[in-house]
Each structure stands twice: as structure tokens, then as C-alpha cells.
Structure 1
Amino acid sequence: MTIKRCYKVDSELFDQIMRIWAETGLASPARADDLSTVQGSIAGGGCILIALSEDRMVGTAWLTHDFRRLYIHHMGVLPEYQNRGIGRMIMAEALGMARELGYQAKLEVHKDNPKAMHLYESMGFKPLEGYYSMIKRDL
């Protein structure tokens, strides 16, 4: 298993990423994730992490930052590759990048995803007490 940092995403690579996001429930029209958005975030200093099993992409995470925190988005592993430590490897790479940059790391996890919550908590993440996550998509 190899974890790679991708600083360039073309349409072919994006299609593979979207397949993982779709199979893991991370893609939805409401999120409006598209190639130009991903490319723009990479141009702003972000990257995409991909987990490769031989030549097959089996996991991914989208990293962005605001020069003080590294934000981990859309961390997912294909269902048939889950429970093999791949998510932990992706997260370890993301946390390594945060350390290199001198940043904190932040993520959101759906409250109905206990496996992911367990992984993140086992890696030192804690709930942000006193905060409630909000979004406005219809602008």
C-alpha cells in the first residue's frame, strides 16, 4: 500500500477520486465538488492524498488549509478495502503534512459514522466542545 500526495489533478484522476467518493457516500450534488474546485484548492496549497494498492486507487482524502489549520475532507476507503488500516495510513500522512507545516488538523465526521469517529479519536482527535457545525449552500 502506498499513500501519495497529488498536487496536480486532471479529469482522469478526478474521475477515479469521484468513484471513491461516490462508493463511500462522500459525493453529493449538494456539495458541488467538481474538478475546478479541487484544482483551485490545490493551487491554494492543498492536495489530494491517494491510497494505491498496486495500481488501483482504493482510498483518498482532500486536504486544504488556511495557514493555521489543515482541513481533512472526504477521507474514504473503498468498502472492500476497509478494516485493513488504509484509513489510518491516509490519516497518518495527513497528520504528517500538518506537522511539516506547523498546523493543527481539523475534520468533520458524520454523527452516524461510528467507525470513522473511532479511527479519528484513536489518532488523537477530540470533539470541539461548544461548537455546532452549520452551512448555507443556497447562495
Structure 2
Amino acid sequence: MKESHHVTQTSTGTSAGARQPVRLVLTPRAARPPRVPLLTWIHQRPEFRAGVRDAGGGRSGGRPGFSDAVIIAVVAQALLPGLFHLLQSWVDQQRTEVSVRVQAGESEVEIQVNGRTDATKLIDQATRALRQAAGEVGAAE
């Protein structure tokens, strides 16, 4: 048997929504340096090594209370549950929080991950925002 793979590119294709990349900006909030840096924690999982990196700003003088360890992640939507579970476990271990800006298309949502956050609810919140971005671009709410 011969398998054929058909690849089509569309600018508005929602059928491939789970594979469409999502850009996230992760900003850990830390009063002191973490025992394990967030980037190191995320890179323990090989599927996140290529798409998750240090923002590389190298500037100090950011917002008070926020470390300079801003992380940029560009991952497929299908990988979001794993990423949010990693974030939640890091936050629980470090007893801190992370601000996450999820960007898809024209839409952006900011989510706070802290010790009282349920990773499943985070995923639902991000998924709702992404669906709105895909299905309601330009539509008024």
C-alpha cells in the first residue's frame, strides 16, 4: 500500500488549527532567582527545545518584580496542554507566578499562572481565545 500525503497551505485554514503555531511570551515573576530557571524546566521536554527560547533582550530595568528571563515560545496549538502543565508544575515548585501572553493571528490574551491556577482551566482559556481569533477575526463581540 502506498500512502500519499497532501499538503495545502491556506491563510485562513481552520481545519489545520491544531497545527497552526501559537506565539507565547512567558514572563516569570520572581523575587529571587529560581532554583531551576523556567527555560531549563521547559527544555526537559524535547518537543519544546526548538520552539521555546530566551527572548534575548539582555536588558535590565524591566518591570519591578519581573525577572529578565522573558521566554518566547512558538508552538503548535496541539502542544499547548503539555506546555501549560509544565508551566503549572514549575510555578508550584518555585512558589511564584508567570504571566503568559498568548498571540494567535490578530488576537492576544494574557493569562496569569499562579499556585491557585488549574492547568486545565488555563488550556480552556487559551483555546477559547484562539478559537475567537480563528473564527471571529474582525467581528465585534
TM range (shorter): 0.3 to 0.5
Q: Provide TM-score, normalisation by structure 1.
A: 0.34
Q: Which has the larger radius of gyration?
A: 2
Q: Provide TM-score, normalisation by structure 2.
A: 0.33
The structure with higher relative contact order (CA 8 Å, sep 6+) is 2
